Amino acid sequence: MILHRFLIALMAGMICVGCSMKPVPDDVRPFRVSWERVRDVAILKFDGPYGETVRLHTQKRLVEVKHFNLIEALQSGPLAEVSCDRLEEAQFLHTLETLATDTVIGGHVTAILNDNHGTDQAQVKEGTGYYKKEKDVHGQWVDVEIQRTVQRALPYVTRQASLTTSFKIFDLNTRRFIATDELTESYEKKFGGVNEPHDLGDLPSPDVTLDELAARTAVRLVAKLSRMKLSSIISFDKDDNSMVMRGVTLAEDGAWEDAMQLWNDVIQNEPDNPSALYNLGVAYESLGDIENLRIAKGLYQKAATCGDKTLYADGISRVKDMIQQDNNHWN
């Protein structure tokens, strides 16, 4: 009977074998990060053979985004050894704090590239060495070589590549990881063979292909960072249109591309739908670079002509300020 009661208590969580029952400390409880105050970002080490390529592209892209300030983190000395899995270690925290930044990003990159060789059988014309008389476009008789159709093997290379980047964002104010994610970019293209737009001689070096994937990864990584920030400081426009609302739900879940497609579909059928126009503007603004801010401004302005909401005026004012700041910076 005693053993029976002990087992029941153990299953109910009343007895902890080999430990003392203590309350969960505050510093390990779930928390929310105020992305509104996140402004300064430093890019640290990205491990892996193409980690430095991804880091440099991410740094370049971050400079273009007006929602953040890039804090230079020299890749030498103690910082050169800080990987994303070691950001919380005490030996590195003091060094990181000297950067005077809100957040730091680190990651790990893996890459795969394979070239598959093959041949396509194609029918081609070739000369026979025999000639016949024919009139040319001017009506003159000329010798024309007789052609014949033959089967010929045309070599090709199909390049398949992928680059996967796992990254973590560390908040120096709370000393916590505030985001972690993984991005994969893929590449598949055929060079040579039959009816292909790319000749075999156009096959780039492996480094060029992986550099392209790294650049695409950087755009997506910074877009994620930018959208997390923007989602915390502005609101979507919600109305009774089910497609508009479904787009809002998708965007709030992080599926921005799907949301943009829905809002575009609404605008195609209802060109003067202010909610769809405004929300699409938010999607472009969230990308943060000048080109997309200008697109957002146009969408906000059109929404304002179709409807009268404070959201629309606030959007116009917000992106105007960022565009003007960029103009002042370069003038």
Q: Which domains does the chain have, with CATH numbers?
A: 35-112+162-225 (3.40.50), 115-156 (no CATH), 234-330 (1.25.40.10)
Query: Residue 19 pLDDT more than 70?
Result: no
Q: What is the pLDDT of residue 225?
A: 87
The torsion region of residue 216 among left (phi > 0), alpha (psi -120 to 50) and beta comes to alpha
**Largest Cα–Cα distance of the chain, in whole Å?**
116
pLDDT in tens, 109-133: 999 999 999 999 888 788 888 999 8
Question: Residue 307: its pLDDT value, please?
Answer: 87
Provide the pLDDT for residue 74.
65
**Contacts for 76 with CB less than 8 Å, ≥ 6 apart:** none
For the entire predicted model, the pTM comes to 0.74
User: Of 52-56, 60-64, 90-94, 220-224, which range is least confident?
Assistant: 90-94
pLDDT at 29: 35
* pLDDT given for residue 34 in this prediction: 61
> With contact defined as beta carbons under 8 Å apart, do 153 and 115 qualify?
no
pLDDT (0 to 100) of residue 4: 42
| 298 has a pLDDT exceeding 90 | yes
User: Looking at residue 82, what is its pLDDT?
Assistant: 73
H-helix segments, 65-142: 90-97
pLDDT for residue 269 = 94
- In sequence order, what are the beta bridge partners of 47? 108
Distance CA 188, CA 203 (A): 12
> What percent helix, strand, coil does the chain show, rounded to 5?
45, 30, 25
